[in-house]
């Protein structure tokens, strides 16, 4: 609890591949928690509304010649976009408000580390290892749970063709899903953040039901344990 004795809010993170329904479910879960009079706000990354977010948006929406943007530089921008939100995020939780977040550092690592030479623009060469990618996000406020909305590539594609964004490509998305599994295994091995894998091919209502159950369980645990906010990958 903070000096005024308020218990901190819970930090619930939704992750997953493109089209898995994160945005839909974040807004439904926030609505549900608010209907129970539980103070809750939504966060999303990238946050395209900041200056750094504007650079990220330009990068994602420009599919032209890629040679000018180094993969490590863009990775650091995604991370900077989280760090610039971190103080507000931490103080929101400290004030007792819950956060439901759409993508975070796991997306950062999964996407960058899934790039291979053919779709990389990097001048710097070398492999973008999981370890290298995790570095810049180490120490960020860690979520109390990760809800991974799992959807295979065929199901994702049934939800409409890809838009024009840079990462909306089949092979990359398949590699991203594997990277998420590796990150889940790392958290499991170290007993860090608990993951809940939810079958995102169910109806919107059925996915929400599972999310509500997981959110209740997480809120109860955070309340019971009164544990301070942890830090990413530390």
Smaller CB separation from ligand Z5A, 107 or 122? 107
Using the rule CB under 6 A, give the single segment among 28-36, 106-114, 120-128, 212-220 that binds ligand Z5A: 106-114
Please tell me whether residue 19 binds ligand Z5A under the rule CB under 6 A. yes
Please tell me whether residue 203 binds ligand Z5A under the rule CB under 6 A. yes
- The distance in angstroms from the start CA to the end CA of the chain is 22
State the Cα–Cα distance between residues 201 and 186, nearest whole angstrom: 25
Identify the residue among 31, 88, 159, 178 touching ligand Z5A (CB under 6 A).
159
Please tell me whether residue 37 binds ligand Z5A under the rule CB under 6 A. no
> Sign of torsion, CA 172 175 16 154?
positive
Identify the residue among 10, 12, 13, 20 touching ligand Z5A (CB under 6 A).
20
8 A C-beta contact, residue 195 and residue 104: no
Smaller CB separation from ligand Z5A, 206 or 220? 206
Smaller CB separation from ligand Z5A, 77 or 222? 77
Please tell me whether residue 167 binds ligand Z5A under the rule CB under 6 A. yes
Please tell me whether residue 24 binds ligand Z5A under the rule CB under 6 A. yes
State the Cα–Cα distance between residues 80 and 83, nearest whole angstrom: 5
8 A C-beta contact, residue 29 and residue 207: no
Q: Which pair of tokens denotes residue 136?
A: 């810049």
State the Cα–Cα distance between residues 214 and 164, nearest whole angstrom: 34
Identify the residue among 107, 113, 122, 184 touching ligand Z5A (CB under 6 A).
107
Task: Give the shortest CB-189-to-ligand Z5A separation in angstroms.
Answer: 22
Task: Give the shortest CB-49-to-ligand Z5A separation in angstroms.
Answer: 12
Beta bridge partners of 145: 12
Nearest to 179 by CA among 90, 106, 103: 106
Task: Give the shortest CB-130-to-ligand Z5A separation in angstroms.
Answer: 14
Please tell me whether residue 46 binds ligand Z5A under the rule CB under 6 A. yes
Please tell me whether residue 23 binds ligand Z5A under the rule CB under 6 A. yes
How many Cβ atoms sit within 10 Å of the Cβ of residue 202?
A: 15
Q: Which pair of tokens denotes residue 98?
A: 């819950």
Please tell me whether residue 136 binds ligand Z5A under the rule CB under 6 A. no
- Helix (H/G/I), strand (E/B), else coil: 152: coil
State the Cα–Cα distance between residues 16 and 23, nearest whole angstrom: 10
Interaction site with ligand Z5A (CB under 6 A): 16, 18-24, 45-46, 60, 78, 102-103, 107-108, 111, 159-160, 167-168, 203-204, 207
């Amino acid at each position: 609890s903070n000096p005024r004795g308020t218990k901190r809010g819970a930090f619930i993170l939704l992750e997953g591949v493109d089209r898995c329904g994160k945005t839909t479910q974040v807004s439904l879960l926030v609505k549900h928690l608010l209907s129970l009079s539980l103070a809750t706000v939504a966060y999303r990354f990238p946050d395209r509304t900041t200056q750094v977010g504007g650079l990220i948006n330009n990068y994602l929406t420009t599919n032209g010649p890629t040679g000018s943007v180094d993969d490590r530089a863009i990775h650091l921008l995604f991370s900077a976009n989280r760090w610039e939100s971190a103080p507000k995020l931490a103080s929101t939780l400290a004030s007792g408000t819950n956060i439901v977040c759409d993508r975070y550092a796991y997306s950062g690592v999964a996407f960058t580390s899934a790039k291979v030479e053919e779709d990389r623009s990097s001048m710097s060469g070398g492999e973008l290892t999981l370890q290298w990618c995790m570095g810049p996000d180490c120490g960020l406020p860690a979520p109390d749970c990760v809800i991974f909305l799992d959807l295979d590539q065929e199901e994702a594609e049934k939800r409409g063709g890809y838009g024009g964004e840079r990462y909306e490509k089949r092979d990359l998305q398949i590699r991203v899903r594997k990277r998420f599994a590796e990150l889940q295994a790392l958290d499991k091995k170290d007993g860090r953040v608990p993951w809940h894998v939810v079958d995102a091919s169910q109806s919107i209502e059925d996915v929400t039901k599972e999310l509500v159950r997981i959110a209740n369980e997480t809120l109860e645990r955070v309340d019971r344990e009164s544990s301070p906010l942890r830090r990413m990958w530390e």
